[in-house]
Structure 1
Amino acid sequence: MNWRKSSYSGGGEGNTCVEIASLPAHVAIRDSKAPARAVLSVPAASFAAFIESVKRGSQSAE
């Protein structure tokens, strides 16, 4: 899997965030501080809806 970190990652090596990997029908999510531990997988459409909701929420807070 090709894992990506957010551009908002903090810390010395950007390891205080979650990472995501796109799969054909799902998005995999893991803790960047413990990448060998459990991975959460959600349907891609649900993840996209979640991200859009977060974006709308942050825009209304500005």
Structure 2
Amino acid sequence: MANESTNWPDLAIGLYDKLTGKNAEITYVFEHLEVDVPKGVNSSESAKWKLNGTVKISAKEAHK
């Protein structure tokens, strides 16, 4: 597939681009999210960030 996304930001942008103009709302819900974050620039070591609860990210097209 020529337009296949290779990372989460590209996937989200592509999905929103397809839905823009169609009165779309996108909501992502993560519960008990764990993320490995690099400890520093160019570091091979990572720290685990744990988010207890829910993170909601919404995008909604504004109507004029």
Q: TM-score range by the shorter chain?
A: under 0.3
Larger radius of gyration: 2
Kindly indicate which of the two structures has a greater share of residues assigned to helix.
Answer: 1
TM-score by length of 1: 0.25
Kindly indicate which of the two structures has a greater share of residues assigned to strand.
Answer: 2
